[in-house]
Amino acid sequence: MTNNTTETKMLLAVDCIIFGFDGENLKILLIKRGFEPEKDKWSLMGGFIKANESLDEAANKILLQLTGLNGVYLEQLYAFGDPARDPDERIVSVAYFALIDIHKYETQLSDRYHAEWFLVNEMPGLVFDHGQMVEIAKQKIRYKAALHPLLFELLPRKFTIPQLQSLYEGVYNTKIDNRNFIRKLTSTGLLIKLEEKDKSNSKKGAFYFKLDKKKYKAKFQAFLNFIPNPENLIS
């Protein structure tokens, strides 16, 4: 770093890409922008970073404001800094994505921000580079969820395997063989079968499961490839 006295200060923002799962489809929460520029267009929820706030704090605050939720999955995605990304002013934005249980979302907050859930595949155009942010978030989720049980963050406390399969099929836009899917899932040991059945989708009913949270945390990072035994690495 060189001497900084002549350097330009600029605004720093955080934008949140919020995903939810309604039991059938992956959705994204957008707000109708209430001010210029681009007033009344759809947008991600965001905000400026205060002088004494960390990036994570800012992102959590925004998420709390819009959803009423605390302590949900939130991950820094990427910093967007094209000088032309906001036509008015130089603003660098650090994007975060969140995965929430859509049922915990506090619906009454929708009004305040004119928020709405959209199917990710039927999303309106967004302001500035927010569309690009969403694309990168989707890519990241597809990548990470192929290796780690990330999508479980979207599930309610109890869920059925057909629901989970529908989630994976939606995220990857593909059909999955249900026998193999179940085998893979149960072999992870992450699921605990409950007595209760969900009969809303079939007459037979599908058993609910819940997540074994200890195993989930322990196994989240497990994966495989170029290196023979990645879990046995020395350091």
Partner DNA sequence: CCAAAAGTGTTGGAGTTACACCCATGC
Partner DNA sequence: GCATGGGTGTAACTCCAACACTTTTGG
Which spans of this chain sit near DNA (rule: CB under 7 A)?
Answer: 160-162, 177-180, 182-184, 187, 197, 199, 201-207, 225, 228-229
User: CB of residue 197 vs its own copies: minimum separation in angstroms?
Assistant: 26
Closest to DNA by CB, 5 vs 229, is 229
Q: Are strands 91-100 and 42-43 parallel, antiparallel or unpaired?
A: unpaired
**How far is it, in rounded angstroms, from Cα 141 to Cα 19?**
10
CA 137 to chain centre: 8
**How far is it, in rounded angstroms, from Cα 216 to Cα 137?**
22
168 touches its own copies by CB under 8 A: yes
**Footprint of its own copies on 189-228 (CB under 8 A):** 223-228
User: CB of residue 118 vs DNA: minimum separation in angstroms?
Assistant: 24
187 touches its own copies by CB under 8 A: no
User: CB of residue 32 vs its own copies: minimum separation in angstroms?
Assistant: 12
Tally Cβ neighbours within 10 Å of residue 115.
19
Q: What is the DSSP string of 158-186?
A: EEEHHHHHHHHHHHHTS---HHHHHHHHH
Do the Cβ atoms of 33 and 113 come closer than 8 Å? no
87 touches its own copies by CB under 8 A: no
Closest to its own copies by CB, 54 vs 186, is 54
| Secondary structure letter of residue 223 according to DSSP | -
Do the Cβ atoms of 122 and 73 come closer than 8 Å? no
> Which entry of its own copies, DNA, none binds 204, CB below 5 to 8 A by partner kind?
DNA
- Site of tokens 């499961």: 209
Q: What's the token pair of residue 147?
A: 């290796």
13 touches its own copies by CB under 8 A: yes
The contact set with its own copies (CB under 8 A) reads 1-4, 7-13, 33, 35, 43, 46-56, 76, 78-83, 89-90, 92, 94, 145-148, 168, 172-174, 176-177, 180, 184, 223-230, 232-235
